[in-house]
Amino acid sequence: MNIDGAGQAAFFTSEANGNVRCHLCPHGCVIARGSAGKCNVRMNHDGVLYLTVWGRPAALQLNAIESMPLYHFLPGTETFCIGTAGCTMDCAFCNTSEIVSLLPNDLPFIPLDPEAVVTRARDNGCASISFAFNEPVACAEYMMAVSREAARTELKCVAFTNAFVSRPVIRDVFRDIHAANVGIKAFEVTMYRDFCKGRLDDVLRSTLELAELGLHLELTMAVIPGLNDSTRAMQAMAAWIRDSLGMDTPLHLVPFQPSHRLTTIRKPDTQSIDKLAATARNEGLRHVYGGTPDSAFCDTKCHKCGRVMIHRNGSTFMSIDVPASRKCPDCGTPLLMVDRRPS
């Protein structure tokens, strides 16, 4: 096995027979010598676990933070997006499967150490670094090193994560991460089991833990007709968000893109996205967004008087009218939002 450039993993124990046990995600893989865990990017080399994509991003991109999506964190800024191979789940509808599912040795990468990532983000005028494209927990030690380096600067760090991560390691993995967008696949145990090879209860517990750590949190669900778009499931999900994370937690409902192993289901239209968004609003969520250009749920409004505070055309940022107090200019109601101004 070639482990050139790999970094030793942080969360594992070695066993007497040469196997290693990984503690990073709830799969808890037991990995024999020369083999990799389910995520494909953690390999047992002579009884030691290595992350084989450390410093080896396969995708780099500059994006508007709203397009990720993230609406209440550094609005109107650009983010430096980075991703490697590897994921802790296996979603049938993954729309970055060409990055996530390939074995690390089959995927072209750009060698980039943490200092170089930070330098590139700053040179490009970004306000943040986003760990996206693949599941950042799969390459946790690299994300930790980059975010630690970024913490020396003005840059913020964001994780776009499935939250399928073991609770005991969350504090270490997300120590220098300021915001997270958790991709909720469905509010159905069976959907997680059958289509994602993950577990909903683990995801919800870890999402709560991220909130308790004080990260700015937003949630996103790709709406898949017939699989996760029932009114009943949306009511249950919105009620859980309201009661567990708070009614100010932004929820993004974006259209599923037929891809990977799920190509026979049609993309949802704006009308069905907006109907679900209205359902979530009726359960008490204050900031629900539809991820289509013509959705009626694109702007950020004061939840009390309805004044538009951040105007968007689809997910494109257009203008912001939020004073430094982060209160509605008309009625004084506070808006949950993180920007560059001191709190």
Applying CB under 6 A, which residues contact ligand SF4? Answer: 22, 24-25, 27-29, 37-39, 42, 88, 138
Closer CB to ligand SF4, residue 12 or residue 93?
12
Closer CB to ligand SF4, residue 38 or residue 287?
38
- Least Å distance between CB 195 and ligand SF4? 17
Closer CB to ligand SF4, residue 171 or residue 304?
171
Distance CA 121, CA 128 (A): 7
| Complete DSSP assignment for 138-196 | GGHHHHHHHHHHHTTSS-EEEEEE-----HHHHHHHTTT--EEEEE---S-HHHIIIII
Token reading at 244: 């567990």
Residue nearest to ligand SF4 (CB): 37
Closer CB to ligand SF4, residue 202 or residue 229?
202
Contacts of 132 (CB under 8 A, 6+ apart): 68, 81, 82, 83, 160
Helix (H) or strand (E) holding 279: helix 270-282
Q: What residues are paired with 105 via a beta bridge?
A: none
- Least Å distance between CB 21 and ligand SF4? 8
Closer CB to ligand SF4, residue 25 or residue 237?
25
- Least Å distance between CB 3 and ligand SF4? 15
- Least Å distance between CB 104 and ligand SF4? 12
- Least Å distance between CB 165 and ligand SF4? 8
Task: Find, among 66, 116, 108, the residue nearest to 84 by Cα.
Answer: 108
Distance CA 299, CA 276 (A): 16
DSSP at 268 = P
- Least Å distance between CB 203 and ligand SF4? 13
Closer CB to ligand SF4, residue 66 or residue 90?
90
Contacts of 184 (CB under 8 A, 6+ apart): 203, 207, 219, 220, 221, 237
